[in-house]
A and B are shown apart, each in its own frame.
Chain A
């Protein structure tokens, strides 16, 4: 084995060193957020792989827009990845270090999408991704629209009264340091999950959620989301539910951690503040 490694590692290291000097020509993505950004900032021929979720209209904001030539990764498959011969692979915040070591040993550079728990973090991640793939200009153009949407939204919201919103999904809520929590707050509302002291996405317990008496319940458009709240023996009796204030957010927007985060903030704000925010951004 030592002979094999002694022969193999210099070859792979050399390949990696050569690739490290030039902007990547073949980019593969194992992360849906990166898929959504790369579809807009890279020429189609340079995007060689995306996740299978990129084509799923219930999850992705770019379904139907991914180049047909890009391979759809059904899973984080190392063999398929190597076979595509990418210069750079985009991975997730939680991709484990052992997998990344194997990526490096296969002579492939990687870039991690991270810090996506707020609109500012998403902005930084898009900028970093643009630099990593050698597409700073297109990334900055995407971010110009992103910034303009969020600025316009903040201006229109002004000092509007902030409703208290509880996100609910399968006994879980979104607390502090979550993208959904940040979405609620940017859309001009108070995140009840944070009020409860929840950190991350966690189950606070229905009784604790019930006594918070939120003004609005936020659920995903995923099948069964609304019904689960209405049928819940305790949450079903909440004032917000009785008065019909359940906001159903399209799932691709609710889970968007890309330039579509700005659209998600606008969409939710329009549902919470219809007097101030038009449904379609002018």
Chain B
């Protein structure tokens, strides 16, 4: 039985992480993937888990047979996971939104909440039920919560690794979800079998029910059923479009649709390549204006977005000898090759074209070559990962890779009609950043895309439309759109004058690795599009600063200290409060470490996985160590406060390490060493967070001996903290306050909870 229970708890963690990643990926295909939507989905997941853990979990005390409750929860979880995936795919049809329409903030909030509801709540409650059952079998109260926490974490680590390396490349979502359901149902049956000898009827009925679902799930998994559901839901998700291909990679999802003779390749639901005819206006202006601005481009680097038009246009210039084309996910080009068109074939098979599957930031850092042009094919820094190609640090790297007359080309959303506040700030921020690195900048405003040509050569700012037209003739380009008239129109001074005038009053701040403001302005722009009613809120976020937060925390702490004598219950809340702030800190650490790593080393999927795993291992080790120490600790609270202090110290030191090392990263030994430091820090941050949890349980149980209430309360407090930083961490805190500022927020928050817990302790003693 004990072995069964151990497996059940590990499987709980295993299933939880798989369900979480699976639904996140599925929802992102339906939604528009950016830092905010990722945050919202994760936050909804956490808050629902917390709810299940606390409110549903509390019910276990009233149950006569908690084990059966556990199995029922497993059944609910198992059945709702595939259902949630199905609902995600038919969501737009259900809420009456056209398949091609993006969703705004509000529909995303409530639809992801409703879809995740049964899955996350049942999973959250499983934790509390698990704790209760575990304590019933092992007759230990304080350590059993810790043990369950450890087993769950171990399952989470295993699930994360299995999902990315064993499941995603080979199975579709329904197969994975049904597989998870299958494991859970089998465990359920095993958990129930010991009770068959009892006279009661209920375990038997429950076993039979489990068994029926088990058979059903098994049948669907191993017959064509899963495939049928898969395709049925995809047809609804891509309504009225002929879906030819659907595939996942570790990075995301790729779908190909056909309409007439046209293939469209979608990456996470957004069309990225259209063959045989691309958006001619975009590709011709994006490629030829910069290439014509250069007297004789030979070596060109394209970072993302090259296939399906851009490379083809670059190749038209007779002087071009070599194109390095960098794309992170090999899957999209692999699929483009499956549906060949003359254009893409000539692009991808041309001997001048060299394709590298690597993160653009790594490539530009490691490549020894110098280029005449660097074209950045991503046009909006809408998440932390993409924003790394729009920061000051990146522009410095790009500058080093440019030859004397070399040009860096980037594009941003624009309008030739009206520049809204949001567009203004986004453009102003990146222009300011470019100007801080490059002495010369040529801006070409456009109807939906603004082009920015940055160079260290003065020529870029002097060139006029006559020279463009001259070179157009000399190079004998066969183009569709560009004529000398069109170039004259595009470069007419009235557009630039209007653009610069509209830009007045825009932000003065620049986009940096450690303060990725570009993400914030990009999200603000996106929000204005879908939820104009929330524009004001974002403008307010822009002005958030440390002083404001400091005063806020100060007042909260003060108010607490003042009313503590009056309200007795508040004392008890000090421990959960600490756990909430720790949950907040944990999420910020995790986010900060991953995002800093990406900025310094580029996006390497396995390394990111390793960092997350190190964090989770840290949590597990911390919890294990603390659990075994629990009986030997005499002054629980003093120890608890020491851990609190350690977390405060850690969040103070964390950014300092990066800021200290950053200037010396060019030295190979340090470059290598810091990677190890990253792993150690990830593990350490997990360790601190993991160690606190069992101790908090022990302390809290001391004053209220209700085990499942304690487990539920503290675990949900932890998740709640994660929820707050999930929504605000990547959207407001990191981008607006920067790495250092965010860690300072953690310091202030932790200090305030520390003071509160210390003050409460004094009263108790």
Answer yes or no: do A and B interact: no
